[in-house]
Amino acid sequence: MKQEYTITVYTENQVGLLNRIAIIFSRRKINVESLNTSPTEVESVHRFTIVIDETEEVVKKLCRQIEKQVDVLKAYYNTNEEIIWQELALYKVPTDVIAEEVKVERLLREHGASAVVIRKDYTVFQVSGHREETENLIKVLEPYGLIEFVRSARVAIIKDSNGFHEKLKEFEHQQPREEVIENEYLNKGQTIFTM
Amino acid sequence: MITTEATEDKAAAAAKVTINITGSEAVLKALITEDVKTIFGYPGGAIMPIYDALYDYNDRLKHILVRHEQGAIHAAQGFARSSGEVGIVFATSGPGATNLVTGLADAMIDSTPLVCITGQVFAHLLGSDAFQETDIINITTPVTKWNYQITDPSEIPSVLAKAFYIAKTGRPGPVLIDITKNAQLQKFDYEGYTKCDHIRSYRPKPIIRKEPIIEAASLINAAKKPFVIFGQGVILGSAENEFKAFIEKGGFPAAWTILGMSAIPTDHPLAVGMLGMHGNYAPNVFTNDCDVLIAIGMRFDDRVTGRLDKYAKQAKIIHLDIDPSEIDKNVKTEISIWGDCKETLPLLTKLIEEKQHTEWLNEFRKLEAKEVEVVINDELNPTTEKLSMGEVIKTINEITKGDAILVTDVGQHQMITCRYAKYSKSRSNITSGGLGTMGFALPAAIGAKFGAPDRTVIAIIGDGGIQMTIQELGTIMQSKINVKIVILNNEFLGMVRQWQQLFHEKRYSFVDITSPDYVQVAKGYYISGNKISKREELIDAITTMLNHDGSYLLEIMVGKENNVFPMVPQGCSVSEIRLK
Ligand SMILES: Cc1ncc(C[n+]2csc(CCOP(=O)(O)OP(=O)(O)O)c2C)c(N)n1
């Protein structure tokens, strides 16, 4: 069954890596719904957040292809239940309309919008939240002459992640230590073979 | 000279003394420290500083001047495949670099370790559409294991060290390093060259886990009809002996993919032939009859599996591979053993019971007899007036006793060679498997000979493929390398014609290809040659070719409309393989 998955990729900060990752999707004609690049809590490590609508089977294979890239440290995928996520949206509306129609101000407040810039000719509001939330406000503002709308890519925190500091220490070792699970999908057991 | 070089370098590194050298010199010092002996290349504007430095290193690094950069990269592939070492290519920017793309794609899909060094315009000109500037990094991203652009000479030692490490470890593959002209020219403080042995974001092979091996062993021990299928992973991992020990202890019938061929001698008592579209009858049929299928160092390519939803559905599948992205990619496995098969196979061998599956093996032999009767006899001992490709290969087998390296191009002659060749040594079957690149064989054979100078190298090429890279006869002429060239001329683009005959009502659309007088062409390059079309001439002609001191071209006219059988038609299951 297709559903929304958020892929989190930890990488080295390398020019060209964005392309390497992007073509893994485009080669398979998979539409990327959202893509964000960001620094992480670890200096020198970058984080890609990618949203696609696919089956788990496909997402799993994509993650393996991503992880296969030399400069990729780790790729995870999660369903929406497993993450905390937000998108930021900006709305530009004519200032006179807002000033005149008290209703609009109330609507904006109801949607948790806050003003970023207020000028004589226009005002820019921002909302952060899930896609439906930012999308709803478009419909609400349209009758009042919405001038411009833009939404950012998704950023997401994995609920049960401990961050990347510890993981990175594992990668710094030339040989993985015994207890390290190198591949969550393949290492069923954890015992190392000794003869 | 070499020792002085290395000692100097080591001393410099130890004493933390730096020497002021150009980026170009650093490139060559890297190659020497990595023990490179042979480079295949072609100069041009943006790589001239490296070629200038090479002028002084001529005694330590052998450079083979090819006739086209595609020739350089296929030669480097042939070199890597016959020697097991990393193949090295030099090319200039722009057209020089783009001419490498086919070879990179070929090396990527066939896991061949290469380091390609391309020149690039000055860093300050990047992105300005400068003369001979192409964005080779982005062009080659999907067809390289790793690529990187160097714009500062101080990056050269560490980046090249990474390049070699990435190319040859884990699942091998091609790496391309693009170096801007300023980085080649500028001097910097060189601190010596340290080989790379760790990259934190890259784990070439995992430590081996116990559970899957124990589970696999118990599955194998309970099997009534176990069947081993293997690919190039066995050769790439230098695990030929470990593999043999494994199948011999368990008494498993074993079939190879086209790239796995020659990992065990073709006449090994447990060998049951080649898998796939034009493979042997028995291994294809019994893929859908075995109870445990043990796949080793192979990737279930569609030419091997045929229709996936009817592939080995009755069997429990065990997959051993070094590349985790291959596991469960095409075929769902019961047990996966992730790791280098040189390490995993001995562990598994230890746990399996010593057995012989005589009856099961006999089933293979029975189908084999049927294939001999319906297909092989006619191919190897034809009664037709025209020669068959099969009898040429049979004659080569008899004269070389299976000791030669056969390098094939792509088409019917490739399938016939791989079906009928006899090999006694590993790394003997060199062919473009995954990409099916026509034009591969002639340059790859040149490289294969440089990689294995003591072995006889015979290129077997169709009349179509030879005309794709025929200019490399010039490389043979100039380098005086000894390769034997057999052209199997059926006056058609045979493989395409066969499909048109079988699936397009014999509508022969543009497969009728004419040829020059190859013997005259060879003569023009000062290469001896001969052309034959009669059965009586065959043994003598091949003997003369093999005994000739130096390269030799032998054109053999064969039946025009012969077909390669058996065949698994596209969209069919492997067990629906057609004998005619
Ligand atoms: C570069 C390239 N172009 C086209 C093809 C498609 N193709 C596959 S086999 C073949 C015919 C090869 O003819 P020839 O070299 O005469 O060999 P034969 O099949 O007759 O032995 C063609 C055109 C290919 N594999 N590679």
* pLDDT mean values, one per 10 residues, chain A (195 residues): 96 93 97 96 95 96 96 96 97 89 81 92 95 92 93 96 89 76 59 45
Q: Are A72 and A10 in contact (CB under 8 A)?
A: yes
Report CA-CA distances (Å) from B433 to B105, B276, B576: 11, 12, 23
Question: Which of residues B439 and B58 earns the better pLDDT score?
Answer: B439
- Tokens 């939404």 locate to A151
Closest CA to B438 of B76, B98, B102, B65: B102
Q: Is B470 within the bounds of a domain?
A: yes
Neighbours of A22 (CB within 10 A): 15
Determine the structural domain holding residue B158 and report its residue range: 2-190
No. of H helices and E strands in chain B?
Answer: 24, 20
Q: Is A112 helix (H, G, I), strand (E, B) or coil?
A: coil
Predicted confidence at residue B7, as pLDDT, reads 63
Q: Is A191 within the bounds of a domain?
A: no
Cβ of A188 within 8 Å of Cβ of B211? The answer is yes
Q: Per-residue pLDDT for B423 more than 70?
A: yes
Interval B203-213: pLDDT, tens: 998 889 989 99
Q: What are the two backbone dihedrals, phi and then psi, of residue B551, each rounded to the nearest 5 degrees? A: -65, 155
Distance A186 CA to ligand 1 centre (A): 39
CATH of residue B450's domain is 3.40.50.970
- Are residues B395 and B542 part of one domain? yes
Q: Which residues are CB-contacts of B66 (< 8 A; sequence separation ≥ 6)?
A: B40, B41, B42, B72, B75, B443, B472, B475
Q: Are B268 and B258 in contact (CB under 8 A)?
A: no
- Are residues B229 and B153 part of one domain? no
Nearest CA, atom 3, ligand 1: B438
Determine the structural domain holding residue A115 and report its residue range: 84-151
- Are residues A95 and A76 part of one domain? no
Mutate to test the pocket of ligand 1, among B386, B419, B490, B495 (most ligand atoms within 8 A of CB): B495
Q: Is the CB of B564 under 6 A from ligand 1?
A: no
Q: Is A189 within the bounds of a domain?
A: no
Q: What percentage of chain B reaches a pLDDT higher than 70?
A: 97
Of the listed ranges A181-195, B134-148, B164-178, the least confidently predicted one is A181-195
* pLDDT, mean of residues B448-462: 98
- Are residues A123 and A78 part of one domain? no
Q: Per-residue pLDDT for B2 more than 90?
A: no
pLDDT band, residue B303 (cuts 50/70/90): very high
* pLDDT, mean of residues B441-464: 98
Predicted confidence at residue A189, as pLDDT, reads 47
Q: Is the CB of B237 under 6 A from ligand 1?
A: no
| Atom number in ligand 1 closest to CA B466 | 15
Q: Are B66 and B37 in contact (CB under 8 A)?
A: no
CATH of residue B292's domain is 3.40.50.1220
Q: Per-residue pLDDT for B44 more than 70?
A: yes
Q: Is the CB of B492 under 6 A from ligand 1?
A: yes
Q: Are B224 and B360 in contact (CB under 8 A)?
A: yes
- Are residues A88 and A78 part of one domain? no
Element of type H or E holding B367: helix B358-371
- Tokens 């493989």 locate to B495
Query: Using a CB-CB distance cutoff of 8 angstroms, which residues of chain B are in contact with residue A185?
Result: 324
CATH of residue A34's domain is 3.30.70.260
DSSP B76-95: HHHHHHHHSS-EEEEE-STH
Interval B569-579: pLDDT, tens: 999 999 999 99
Q: Is B180 helix (H, G, I), strand (E, B) or coil?
A: strand
Q: Per-residue pLDDT for B162 more than 80?
A: yes
- Are residues B46 and B165 part of one domain? yes
Task: Give the whole-angstrom CA distance, residue B388 versus residue B449.
Answer: 27
Predicted confidence at residue A174, as pLDDT, reads 77
Predicted confidence at residue A184, as pLDDT, reads 63
Predicted confidence at residue A108, as pLDDT, reads 82
- Are residues B423 and B549 part of one domain? yes
Position B403, amino acid: D
pTM attached to this predicted model: 0.95
- Are residues B161 and B105 part of one domain? yes
Q: Is A190 within the bounds of a domain?
A: no
CATH of residue A103's domain is 3.30.70.1150
Closest CA to A25 of A12, A16, A34: A34
Q: Is B203 within the bounds of a domain?
A: no
Q: Per-residue pLDDT for B559 more than 90?
A: yes
Of the listed ranges A125-134, B90-99, B156-165, the least confidently predicted one is A125-134
Q: Name which of B148, B206, B325 is nearest A68 (Cβ-Cβ).
A: B325
Distance A153 CA to ligand 1 centre (A): 47
ipTM of predicted assembly, 2 dp: 0.92
Q: Is A195 within the bounds of a domain?
A: no
Task: Give the whole-angstrom CA distance, residue A12 versus residue A183.
Answer: 19
Helical axes B23-33 vs B48-57, angle rounded to 10°: 50
Position B363, amino acid: E
What's the total number of domains in chain B? 3
Q: Is A132 within the bounds of a domain?
A: yes
Last residue of a domain, one of B364, B379, B414: B364
pLDDT band, residue B141 (cuts 50/70/90): very high
Predicted confidence at residue A1, as pLDDT, reads 92
Mean of per-residue pLDDT scores for chain B: 96
Q: Per-residue pLDDT for B3 more than 90?
A: no
Interval B516-555: pLDDT, tens: 999 999 999 999 999 999 999 999 999 999 999 999 999 9
- Residues of B belonging to the active site: 69, 131-132, 181, 495
Given its phi and psi angles, is residue A82 left (phi above 0), alpha (psi -120 to 50 degrees) or beta?
alpha
Last residue of a domain, one of B128, B158, B190: B190
Q: Is B34 within the bounds of a domain?
A: yes
- Are residues B159 and B23 part of one domain? yes
- Are residues A72 and A168 part of one domain? yes
- B165 → chain A, closest CA residue: A70
Q: Name which of A11, A64, A73 is nearest B325 (Cβ-Cβ).
A: A64
Cβ of B338 within 8 Å of Cβ of A72? The answer is no
- Are residues A170 and A75 part of one domain? yes
DSSP class of residue B372 equals I
- Are residues B263 and B165 part of one domain? no
- Are residues B346 and B404 part of one domain? no
Q: Is B391 within the bounds of a domain?
A: yes
pLDDT band, residue B4 (cuts 50/70/90): low
Distance B408 CA to ligand 1 centre (A): 12
- Are residues B460 and B522 part of one domain? yes
Q: Is B195 within the bounds of a domain?
A: no
Distance B329 CA to ligand 1 centre (A): 28
- Are residues B94 and B152 part of one domain? yes
Cβ of A70 within 8 Å of Cβ of B145? The answer is yes
Predicted confidence at residue B14, as pLDDT, reads 64
Predicted confidence at residue B1, as pLDDT, reads 42
- Are residues B54 and B179 part of one domain? yes
Predicted confidence at residue A175, as pLDDT, reads 75
- Are residues B173 and B238 part of one domain? no
Q: Which residues are CB-contacts of A100 (< 8 A; sequence separation ≥ 6)?
A: none
Interval B457-499: pLDDT, tens: 999 999 999 999 999 999 999 999 999 999 999 999 999 999 9
Predicted confidence at residue A195, as pLDDT, reads 34
Q: Is B378 within the bounds of a domain?
A: no
Report CA-CA distances (Å) from B108 to A68, A69, B2, B101, B156: 13, 13, 32, 10, 23
Last residue of a domain, one of B159, B190, B221: B190
Q: Is B290 within the bounds of a domain?
A: yes
- Is residue A102 less than 8 Å (CB to CB) from chain B? no
